[in-house]
Chain A
Amino acid sequence: MNQHTATSHPKSIACAQNTGMQKPGTQNYRELPQRIGIGTPVNPQQFGYGLQALGRLLWMFVVSSLLLCGQSIARPYDDVIESGVLTIFVYEDYAPYSWVEGGELKGIDVEVGRAFAAELGVEADFLVRGADENIDDDLRVNIWKGDLIHRKAADVMLHVPVDREVDARNNLAVIMAPYFLEQMAVVADSSVLPELDTFGRFLYQPIAVEVDTAGDFFLSNAFRGQLHNSIRRGRTFGDAVDLYNNGEAVALMGSRAQAEWVAFQSDKESKVHQPPMPGIVRRSWPIGIAIKHDSRDLGYALGDVITELINSGKLAEITKKYGVEYIVPENL
């Protein structure tokens, strides 16, 4: 338990090392209680009081170790620890990052979120919502303002593009800690398209894509709209995957992780391709986390968890479970 306390704050780690404490690994982060926020109400007897007490203990320990180092911590980190719950935003219907299957919330981002909570020694409470029109709306609704009805926001949002301009124009949120490299890709049925050298193939072959996504915009614009009649749009990513799996489309465009995941779980002989994408906005970009502007200390703590996940190879193990190759994002 003490070991966890030490990893829960980057500054406390430094202090702990200075004071001769052993720097712990992350191997036992799964031992802490975890729960899925949606549809599983907390049983206070089981978690609530116990965790609150645990939280208080941890908090006292952190504070005392920090006081020793002469550092202060801002409120949001305190609040999270004191409440015993970290609220984590993930997108809904977003395999392989975050989606519900058989009543269970799963995915790469979900596992990263659980690691956050475990390392802080708190419960993970997932806030699962769909995407709004763009990232600016998502940051407003899920991080700095909350929704109009219930005014609920999360402590941390996952899967946020690390982009200086996005960060600059959303000054009430802070984007940090890249943990994943997003790319665009196509998964194709090898029996029809063993190789894919150009998107020109889709003048003649149908390709599936989730409607109103980066892939949809690229395909709609490609070759001055000539692919229009070949695009099969799914209302959700799951719908697009169905179009691919049932043969209505011989390929599917999405992020590389999505394409690799489809190849991984499809019965079809599938291969992931990254042909030239003339006019694509970005072929690749880093994905990180967002926190509220006054919660930077929480962000640093979570950034430290990410560093551990990457360095220990744990994150690569997580993505591998979903058939996704892990590529370390460039440090911006």
Chain B
Amino acid sequence: MKLNIKKTALAVAGALTLGAASIGSALADGVTIDEIVGDQASVDDILTYGLGPRGQRYSPLDTLNKDNIQNLFPVWSFSFGGEKQRGQESQPIIKDGVMYVTGSYSRIWAVDIATGEELWQYDARLPEGILPCCDVINRGAAILGDKVFFGTLDAKLVALDAKTGKVIWRKKIADYQAGYSYTAAPLIVPTEAHGPLLVTGNSGGEFGIVGQVDARNPETGELVWTRPVIEGHMGTLNGEESTMTGNANETWPGDMWKNGGGATWLGGTYDPDTKLVFFGTGNPAPWNSYLRPGDNKWSASRIAINPEDGEIQWGFQTTPHDGWDYDGVNEFISFDMEKDGNTIKAGATADRNGFFYVLDRTNGDFISGTPFVQNITWAKGIDENGRPIWDPENRPGDPAESADGKKGKAIFAIPSFLGGKNWMPMAYSQDTKLFYIPSNEWGMDIWNEPVTYKKGAAYLGAGFTIKPIFDDYIGSLKAMDPATGEVKWEYRNKAPLWGGVLTTAGGLVFTGTPEGYLKAFDAETGEELWKFQTGTGIVSSPVTWEQDGEQWVAITTGWGGAVPLWGGEVAKFVSYLNQGGSVWAFKIPKQLAMK
């Protein structure tokens, strides 16, 4: 183990112009906040979830390109082992020749990239009685200084020694017994007031939870500020109450805001330019929208938070008064948009509800909202203020209307509650100026169920089934021009897409499929240029970096996530897929990279 670390440290020592004596301290000093902020430009490491804090998933590397992609070969595959597999949604972190990769059931490994050998492994001991709603996945780690951070299914945040995998601190994010969990990659942001902060959201399937964003001191894990996302709740700063989020009853009836939902379960992004943190929020509770008249802020929204004090700078609600379970958690990616000769400080998000929104990231002002999936039924469009033009016919019926015990009114809503796009992050190319959106073409039947029971007591619920819209495909990778809303090209995939996207200055777009392929496309045309079968479904996000003068690509593999749990009629598209659990590393050898 020691040998491996030395070897990898040596490999980069030259590049960092560190003396031989400082090999140990190269890791001890570790990652600086400036390196994190500048992660996108540095090609020899990946220090953030999203290849840069903006989450653009764009790499300036062009060694690997359209002309030589056929020379991209696997170097090693590392198995997560154990009996525990299920969905692997993790994006690796790369630093000094070491890969830090998380896996299902709250596990993390450090792998020597040169050899594919394990340096250390950490398994969180999960208590009995945790019941994660969706799957036992984890989306990745964060790194700062000599520590690696990740969150566990029992809603704890763990800081590990990057060299040894030993626990430095472990803090409770929320109470797993109250239904909270944690699966997202933590975010590290710079502040003037507190130095670097470790920022996390929360997740939970239980009723009664309230979405929140927390910032901690990465050295100690102590809370610096908290920001609940539902109106009426009080935030904190330095252990004292700070300000209330909105006003208690403005968009919620009675005391419903107290249990309003809005879990911030997918984590956030950071824009070094505006110095804002962006988080998405989940759907409101309870599910039945007739019980909670009003917009129900800030559920199903994007919010911008000032990391200095945890104050909300702006909010934009993608689905006010949600009735379809359209979580608003999808990532908000900052980018500079050229339009009519002007450069706009914009941000974009592809929502569960099927619309692609472009906002002014300085103030949240609405710029445009265009469909990125076909045949959307829940809304007829987005008006000039960014609000949906609802189709009342396609809001799920009020269960109270079917109190006669008969199956109530059924509606068919597009997209399904798994979304035009789910958690899987899209990518933005600084070269083509296009967003590459992993989307799915599916809808859902929702009907009022005559009677169901909770805790042994009868109430009127709702039933739903997800249905494909087209016979031959569900998954659809689209290249969208954010300035015009035009779809430039589309790649169709039989199974629903559930993995993230990567784009490079080499003119490539990478994504994985549940059928097990890692695929590369021409960023301009969408032509499929390369594929590799990994042996199990891919539901994670690829990365690329440079090591020893060669360009590498890596992806975690292992079929799972929400689709096999909730898939409904989608099952026939995915039921044959096998589970797995590993990370694959590819590179283009130097001698084959010549143009």
Query: Which A residues fall within an 8 A CB radius of B?
Result: 91, 94, 97, 128-136, 141, 147-150, 152, 159-161, 163, 165-166, 182, 184, 211-218, 220-221, 225, 228-233, 235, 255, 279-282, 285, 287
Contact = CB atoms under 8 A, between A and B. Distances in A.
B563 to A, nearest CB: 15
Counting from the closest, the 7 A-B pairs by CB-CB distance are A214-B457, A212-B207, A282-B458, A228-B254, A135-B453, A131-B455, A228-B253
Contacts of A149: 105, 126, 128, 130-132, 136, 153
B460 interface: yes
A91 B456 contact: yes
B451 A212 contact: no
Nearest to B105: A149
Contacts of A279: 400, 403
B30 interface: no
A231 B259 CA distance: 13
Contact of B131 (A129, A160, A282): A129
B453 A134 contact: yes
Given A150-B128, A231-B254, A215 B455 contact: no
A221 B453 contact: no
Contacts of B132: 148-149
A224 B253 CA distance: 13
Contact of A91 (B399, B400, B455, B461): B455
A255 B293 CA distance: 27
A24 to B, nearest CB: 31
B457 A255 contact: yes
B66 interface: no
Chain B binding surface, main DSSP class: loop
B390 interface: no
B258 interface: yes
B208 interface: yes
B86 to A, nearest CB: 8
Interface of B: 86, 105, 126, 128-132, 135-136, 153, 177-179, 205-208, 253-256, 258-259, 285-286, 288, 290-291, 293, 399-400, 403, 450-461
B586 to A, nearest CB: 31
Contacts, number: 130
Nearest to B127: A149
A141 B131 contact: yes
Given A134-B454, A150-B128, A279-B400, 7 more contacts: A91-B455, A135-B456, A161-B457, A165-B451, A212-B285, A228-B253, A281-B403
B87 to A, nearest CB: 11
A217 B131 contact: no
Contacts of B454: 131, 133-135, 212-214
Contacts of A152: 128
A148 B460 CA distance: 27
A217 B258 contact: no
Given A212-B207, A285-B458, A132 B453 contact: no
A228 B249 CA distance: 11
Contacts of A233: 255-256, 258-259
- Which of A182, A211, A279: most chain B Cβ within 10 A? A211
B259 A212 contact: yes
A134 B128 contact: no
Contacts of B291: 217, 220-221, 225
Contact of B453 (A163, A225, A280): A163
Contacts of A230: 254
Contacts of B128: 149-150, 152
Contacts of A165: 450-451
- Which of A132, A184, A229: most chain B Cβ within 10 A? A132
B241 to A, nearest CB: 20
B105 to A, nearest CB: 7
Contacts of B255: 231-233
Nearest to A141: B131
Contacts of B208: 211-212, 235
A208 to B, nearest CB: 11
B84 to A, nearest CB: 9
5 contacts: A148-B136, A161-B453, A163-B451, A215-B457, A228-B256
A279 B459 CA distance: 10
Contacts of A215: 457
A225 B290 CA distance: 9
A224 B399 CA distance: 12
A282 B286 CA distance: 20
A211 B286 CA distance: 9
Nearest to A212: B207
A130 B131 contact: yes
Nearest to B293: A225
Contacts of A228: 253-254, 256
A8 B457 CA distance: 30
A159 B453 CA distance: 11
Contacts of A135: 452-454, 456
Nearest to A217: B459
Nearest to B129: A129
Contacts of B286: 212, 216-217, 220
Given A148-B132, A235-B259, A282 B126 contact: no
A281 B460 contact: yes
B179 A130 contact: yes
Nearest to A237: B455
Contact of A225 (B205, B253, B258, B259): B253
A160 B254 CA distance: 32
B456 A161 contact: yes
B403 to A, nearest CB: 5
A179 B114 CA distance: 65
A132 B460 contact: no
A102 to B, nearest CB: 18
Nearest to B249: A229
A220 B285 CA distance: 13
Contacts of B253: 225, 228-229
A148 B131 contact: yes
Contacts of B460: 217, 281
A160 B179 contact: no
Nearest to A239: B208
B459 A214 contact: yes
A217 B208 CA distance: 14
B293 A94 contact: no
A95 to B, nearest CB: 12
B564 to A, nearest CB: 12
Contacts of B293: 225
A255 to B, nearest CB: 6
Given A149-B130, A212-B259, A217 B455 contact: no
Nearest to B154: A149
Given A149-B136, A229-B253, A235-B259, A281 B459 contact: yes
A297 B450 CA distance: 31
A128 B178 CA distance: 14
Nearest to A229: B254
Contacts of A217: 286, 288, 291, 399, 459-460
Contacts of B256: 228, 233
A136 B205 CA distance: 15
Contacts of B129: 128-129
- Which of B132, B285, B403, B460: most chain A Cβ within 10 A? B460
A279 B399 CA distance: 10
B558 to A, nearest CB: 15
B457 A182 contact: yes
A233 B256 CA distance: 8
B232 to A, nearest CB: 13
A84 to B, nearest CB: 21
A213 B136 contact: no
Nearest to A287: B456
Contacts of B259: 211-212, 233, 235
A170 to B, nearest CB: 11
A149 B288 CA distance: 29
A215 B291 CA distance: 13
A65 B452 CA distance: 42
A203 B323 CA distance: 27
Nearest to A94: B455
Given A149-B136, A231-B255, A166 B452 contact: yes
